[in-house]
Homo-oligomer: A and B are copies of this chain.
């Protein structure tokens, strides 16, 4: 596994590939790679002749120092997992030290109005500015043809799509699916920090979302629109039974990420998003209700 730690070297690697006519794919991660990340890497490898996977726990997107300190790090394990994929195209790990990315306290911030106000943005002040800024920086450093982001971090995905469009960054954003365990739990690097008891309780999040989807699908089969309050109530009932400290449980417009009370139909898609703490570990999940993946609407959205 080829590891690169400097900005100059990764630029040179990408420049050489491009000079040979190779398309470059990019998967930005914070490491502690799991099957969800690996799926995004496979997706990139299907569309590119070189895949750069960044492994960088970005301090500016953490609002709590203890959360940053506890975030799992396992670069050797990450490289072994990428190696074990046995992909036909070369994979490069870009793992810069913090001083390489932030040789000085940054003064520049990229922010996307509106999309980051609710959900994780409301409970993690500055989080999405940190994300938007480091993504802009990583895209500028790597300069890929395409970059893959997971749907599990749906709000992040929408913010990245929008900043790429607004700033005309020369990259195609590809959305990858949320990977789940057999029992429905969304894969997350933070799952590693769950106790056996916590792992069991964590199931409540995806069970709550599934209950909501069932309500929405029942309504669709009956040929009627479904109220956000109705699907939310189904999910809330599941969470009430479990010992999950709910941070938010919200139906939001799938494009603008604003709370919505409009009936959900295929043409007014929505996302039910949940965040909660399980034995001290913050977990998030979301599910699309209706035809949520409408990029044209994202680009037309105003704050």
Contacts and interface: CB of A to CB of B under 8 A. Distances in A.
A302 B108 CA distance: 11
Nearest to A19: B19
B109 A111 contact: yes
Interface string A154-178: 0000000011011111100000000
B168 A107 contact: no
A211 B161 CA distance: 52
Contact of A107 (B137, B166, B169): B166
Contact of A110 (B103, B108, B168): B108
How many copies of the polypeptide does the oligomer hold?
Answer: 2
A141 B164 CA distance: 11
A238 interface: no
Nearest to A302: B105
Given A140-B168, A168-B141, A170-B140, A302 B107 contact: yes
B167 A107 contact: no
A137 B163 CA distance: 10
Contacts of A108: 110-113, 132, 162-163, 166-167
A255 to B, nearest CB: 12
Contacts of A137: 166-168
A112 B107 contact: yes
Nearest to A169: B140
Interface string A108-150: 1111111100000000000000001100110011010000000
Contacts of A115: 107
A301 interface: yes
Q: Which interface class (under 10, 10 to 19, 20 to 34, 35 or more) fits A?
A: 35 or more
A97 to B, nearest CB: 14
A11 B107 contact: no
B302 A104 contact: yes
A300 B104 contact: yes
A233 interface: no
A299 interface: yes
A106 interface: yes
Nearest to A111: B109
Contacts of A300: 104
A267 interface: no
Interface string A12-43: 00000000000000000000000000000000
A98 to B, nearest CB: 14
Interface string A279-303: 0000000000000000000011111
Contacts of A141: 168, 170
